[in-house]
Amino acid sequence: MRLNGEIGEEEEKKVAECLNTQAYSISGGFSQPQSQKLVVGYALTSKKKKSFLQPKLLCLARNKGIFFVPIDLKRPLSDQGPFDVVLHKLSGKDWCEVIEEYRQKHPEVAVLDPPDGIQHLHNRQSMLQDVADLNLSDCHGKVGVPRQLVITKDPSSIPYEVAKSGLKLPLVAKPLVVDGSAKSHELSLAYDQFSLTELEPPLVLQEFVNHGAILFKVYIVGETIKVVRRFSLPNVSKCELAKVSGVYRFPRVSSASASADDADLEPGVAEHPPRPLLEKLARELRRRLGLRLFNIDMIREHGTRDVFYVIDINYFPGYGKMPDYEHIFTDFLLSLVQSKYKKRPAT
């Protein structure tokens, strides 16, 4: 099955072999009768197509009666389909207007996800505000956000603004705008006040929280939650802070290549956040953001068992690196459409 040339010949062969050797009835999870088809129109960046629309996912989806169809961006969206689900991750004002207009005209189609909610996560100042407003102290742990400061002025003003705010060094610096580029995921660690002028606004400065060099990536797909461990920045001791100066840049700290799931770690560092805490956090963020596809980057304050911080939220993250993502995502799509049909008025 060729998807606009995005999948190469080798991948096509794998998909074809899979379809020829597997039955259409899948044991466990949801299944779709052969006579029914679920059509998912997708509008994704080239990078997202490559990482998400992998042969194994397409094969399993086909066996469950799910078909992924590329959306032609040169044609009106309403003239295409019909779709049961529209899956998108494109940026730009024009696309946001297109998808919002489509949502209004086609309430019977499940659009993943509303552009307003996605835009909320494109700014690191607004993305963590919903977490800061939560009160989860009664859910087997506490969740907060690091103290942070937004800098939009010239670099020479940063030391003064930091001193004025009372933020403590070291500070993590991140680009203010998250646009999907590699640069927007870069971060820097500033050890002293004088080096702050080396940073490039607009940016967000967060107080660095020692967390045992482990970050938890909490993947959300509808109501399903999957947690993986990633290696992160090491703790910074008071002695190190007194001796080290300058700004140290890191391209992408918690990428999939930094997996810590099989690492030999201290139990207090390796233990996942409590499930009830994650469930309530995910439920509240789904409600506040209006999103069903996102992930949360969490850390546990070193030396504690139940004090956590959310440091980033990403829309439609790299699910291809999430364990068993093919089954999770296809089951989610089927349940999503089934719930849509149940809500439709009888005719």
210 annotated among ligand-binding-site residues:
yes
336 annotated among ligand-binding-site residues:
no
109 annotated among ligand-binding-site residues:
no
Neighbours of 289 (CB within 10 A): 21
238 annotated among ligand-binding-site residues:
no
34 annotated among ligand-binding-site residues:
no
72 annotated among ligand-binding-site residues:
no
Which residue type, as a one-letter code, is found at position 137?
S
49 annotated among ligand-binding-site residues:
no
Length in residues, the chain: 347
211 annotated among ligand-binding-site residues:
yes
338 annotated among ligand-binding-site residues:
no
Q: What strands, in cross-sheet order, belong to the sheet with 110-112?
A: 66-70, 38-44, 85-89, 110-112
214 annotated among ligand-binding-site residues:
yes
20 annotated among ligand-binding-site residues:
no
106 annotated among ligand-binding-site residues:
no
135 annotated among ligand-binding-site residues:
no
147 annotated among ligand-binding-site residues:
no
208 annotated among ligand-binding-site residues:
yes
Q: Residues within the annotated binding site for Mg(2+)?
A: 297, 312, 314
Q: Residues within the annotated binding site?
A: 48, 89, 124, 174, 185, 206-217, 232, 297, 312, 314, 318
Q: Residues within the annotated binding site for ATP?
A: 124, 174, 206-217, 232
Q: Residues within the annotated binding site for 1D-myo-inositol 1,3,4-trisphosphate?
A: 48, 89, 185, 217, 314, 318
